Amino acid sequence: MIDTHCHLDASRFEPDRSDVLVRAWAAGLHGIVIPAVGPDTWEPLLELPRRDARVQVGLGIHPQLLPELPPEQDTAHLERLDALLSQGGAVAVGECGLDGPSIPGASMERQVAVLRGHMALARKHRLPVLMHCHRAHPALIEFLKEEPFPEAGILMHSYSGGVELARFYIQKGCHFSFAGPVTWAEARKPLDALRAIPPDRLMAETDSPDQAPTPHRGKRSEPGFLPHIIEGMAQVLGEPVEALAQRTTATARRFFREAFPPPSR
């Protein structure tokens, strides 16, 4: 299994990060993708794959961080991101995207401009995009209608939209990853969307430390909980857990261009 979105660099993992990784490997994971949320984390994250190839990283600016960054520095940050991506070591651009609740501190116009910069870098460096979209799907749909699609693809991370939105993203060529909410009792919209997604465009994630799956809901999530998410997805799709685990892993390996080492036999 590969956790395609896990913020293992978050401060909530400071006390026991190495133990979290031990539990993840023991749970059957063979890879974890850690997406950056801001410029301060880019260089430290790039060190991680050099130590363990099972841990890969994406570099980007999360829209929820934009209110904390001076707008006049957006261009400089994107230029620095370009330079770092040129050096290699990252498997994706992001986490980036659009966030409705962040608009009071970062206008949608600014968010779109920064996202456009990320998309240009993804096309330039032939890397996939790890896309965040929260309460901003109309704006993202309009953006994607105009913006050239990156050759390496877009992963709609922790997808929570309905099936009609999913159909647009499917038509554009997006991949989808689901997190803990697919196991929650009140989940409805994402489950309908899950059933509509082409089998070869589906992946799984924990979005740790947030969105812990049942039976850990309300606690800190961690990558070792990924089996619960895959079990929940398999139940919705009506297929064996092992088959779904193998398929989502194969899809993640292809999407991230075989960045992860093959499992030892």
Q: Which distant-in-sequence residues (6+ apart) come within 8 Å of 161 by Cβ?
A: 133, 137, 189, 190, 193
Pick the CATH number of 2-255 from 3.20.20.140, 3.40.50.280, 3.40.50.300, 3.40.50.620: 3.20.20.140
pLDDT score at 262: 82
pLDDT score at 188: 85
pLDDT score at 173: 98
**Beta-sheet strands, E only, within 112-212:** 129-134, 154-156, 175-178, 202-204
pLDDT score at 265: 57
List the one residue out of 45, 44, 3, 5 whose CA is nearest residue 24. 3
> pLDDT of 168-214, one tens digit each?
999 999 999 999 999 999 888 889 999 999 999 999 999 999 999 99
Q: Tokens 């961080």: give the residue.
A: 65
Share of the chain above pLDDT 70, in %: 99
pLDDT score at 126: 98
Neighbours of 49 (CB within 10 A): 19
5 and 35 Cβ atoms separated by less than 8 Å: yes
193 and 133 Cβ atoms separated by less than 8 Å: no
Q: For residues 203 and 244, what is the distance between their CA atoms, to the nearest angstrom?
A: 9
pLDDT of 136 > 80? The answer is yes
* Angle ∠(21,22,26) on CA atoms, nearest 5: 115
List the one residue out of 206, 230, 204 whose CA is nearest residue 219. 206
pTM over 0.85: yes
Q: For residues 226 and 33, what is the distance between their CA atoms, to the nearest angstrom?
A: 13
Share of the chain above pLDDT 90, in %: 95
Q: For residues 197 and 256, what is the distance between their CA atoms, to the nearest angstrom?
A: 19
Residue ranges of the domains in the chain? 2-255
